Amino acid sequence: MKEETSQSVGEKIEVTVKAAEETVRKPFVKKIARLGFYTKGFLFIVVGILAVMVATGQSGGELTDAAGALTRVAKLDFGKILLIVFIAGAVSHGFWNILRGMADVDDAGKNWRGIIKRAIAVGIGIFYVWLAFSAFNILVTENVETGNGEVQRTIAQIFLALPLGAALLFIIGLSTIGVGIHECYRGFSRKYQENFRLFTLGKGQLRLINFLGIMSFTARALIFCLVGYFFISAAINYNPNEAIGIDGALAILADTYYGKTILFITAAGLVCHGVLSLYEARFRRIC
């Protein structure tokens, strides 16, 4: 009975993967995938610019995360129109990332490393679908007040409520730090360029992408490591309120000895990651 059930589940997974492989090759999927990268770029640029404004002492700046950036967009004169475009792009990016992980667009493979990479892609997809839902909620209810770092605190609360939850949260923290170290490696080794159609780029564009990669992945690495560290702190102290998001990580950097300078470099890195996403929208291999 167990063997039959296992075989049935395996067959369903195989059918689902084949369906994803067929879907991801459709022309409309390529179009929405590129729209998704433009949306991702826009989001990181907004978060980065708001932090740059704080670092340079300009009024109107804010240390915020993705959800917080959406609340700022909503307050603009054409905020609702921008939110509608963002919702379409975020759903597109989420949908494509889920397909990317299921269909193994990046040739990650079926070993344990490949499965982790594909699972991360699916997780990114789910995150952007959640962002689209958040933007829709802001659009419909006109409620633009959100708590930054809420996602991370919610995750911590859920895990700390489970048996052995603190241990699991500790592992998540270590894993997040590991992701941060890997992000730094990707930036300096140019591993992120493996899916770029580099033959279509000129020398000047390639040099710019190299610079954007180093800046953006170093900034992301620093933020991931800080988020991971405070997940570990939340697990050790059994306090979900210690978990932080991007906004919390940026605030911590701002409070360091060379806070303004470090914050500016990190914020500039986030802007660079947004610009790099715009290049991805045009030059990335979709399938």
With a CB cutoff of 8 Å and minimum separation 6, the contacts of 26 are none
Per cent of the chain over pLDDT 70 is 90
* Predicted local distance difference test score (pLDDT) of residue 167: 92
How much is the pTM? 0.86
Angle (CA) 155 159 162, round 5°: 150
Cα 230 to Cα 241: distance, rounded to the nearest angstrom: 10
Distances in whole angstroms, Cα of residue 22 to Cα of each of 18, 96, 100, 102, 107 = 6, 13, 11, 11, 15
Whether residue 219 is predicted with pLDDT greater than 80 in this model: the reply is yes
- What is the chain's Cα-based Rg? 20
Q: What is the pLDDT of residue 274?
A: 95
Residue 7 has pLDDT above 60, yes or no: no
Query: 162 — phi, psi (to 5°)?
Result: -95, 155
Q: Which DSSP category does 60 fall into?
A: T
Of the segments 31-35, 77-81, 152-156, 183-187, which one has the largest average pLDDT value?
183-187
Per-residue pLDDT reduced to its tens digit, 41-80: 999 999 999 999 999 988 888 888 888 888 888 888 788 8
Q: What does the alpha-carbon distance between residue 217 and residue 272 come to, in Å, rounded to a whole number? A: 9
Asked if residue 286 has pLDDT above 60, the reply is yes
**Where is pLDDT greater, at 226 or 29?**
226
User: Band of the pLDDT at 8, cuts 50, 70, 90?
Assistant: low
The per-residue pLDDT for range 186-200, each reduced to its tens digit, is 999 998 898 888 888
* Residue 65: per-residue pLDDT: 85
Angstrom distance (rounded) from CA 161 to CA 94: 28
| Higher pLDDT among residues 18 and 181, named by residue | 181
Over residues 87-123, the pLDDT tens digits come to 999 999 998 889 888 887 777 777 878 888 888 888 8
DSSP assignment of 69-90 equals: HHHHHHTSTTHHHHHHHHHHHH
Q: 22: burial class by Cβ within 10 Å (0-12, 13-18, 19+)?
A: exposed
Residue 206: pLDDT band by 50, 70, 90 thresholds? very high
pLDDT at site 114: 83
